[in-house]
Amino acid sequence: MAKRCLFCGRYFTPDPRVKERQKACSRPECKKARKHFSQKKWSEKNPGYFRGRSPYVKAWREKKKGVLQDKIPREERPQKLVFVIPADMMPMLQDKITLQRSGKRTFTADGRTGGRYKTRWTSPASSG
């Protein structure tokens, strides 16, 4: 069943999960227009929603200050890691290697075989 997009006028086949409720085609311009239309409609239905919330939000942010901020301070830049991988381990590598911190300067990487390989890394700033 083809439907007509409310924003560009083109015909499209709706997603089977949404069926007759889908109003826009999958083009990025139409998605953006649909989101803008939806948010505008919601704001008109709830005109006072954002009024008077500033003190509440400020208090909430102050209460959650340590939880909401990143663990790495902004002035500290991420370090570049260089891994030297032995040739015999190359067949075991996957496209993505996920590292998990297992100590202050030690990271653990999971391999395809389920084994764990430890890599010790020391920050260049702290090793001098």
Distance CA 122, CA 82 (A): 11
| Structure confidence at residue 28 (pLDDT) | 94
61 three-class SS: helix
Q: Residue with structure tokens 């990143």?
A: 70
122's CB contacts (< 8 A; 6+ apart) are: 105
| Structure confidence at residue 118 (pLDDT) | 47
- Helical ranges in 64-111 per DSSP H: 65-68
pTM exceeds 0.95: no
Pairing of strands 3-4, 11-12: antiparallel
Per-residue pLDDT in tens (0 to 9) along the chain, 128 residues: 799 999 999 999 999 998 889 999 999 999 999 999 999 999 999 988 888 888 888 888 888 776 666 555 556 566 666 677 777 777 776 556 667 777 777 777 655 444 444 445 445 554 44
Q: Residue with structure tokens 């069926």?
A: 19
Task: For the chain, state the CA radius of gyration.
Answer: 26
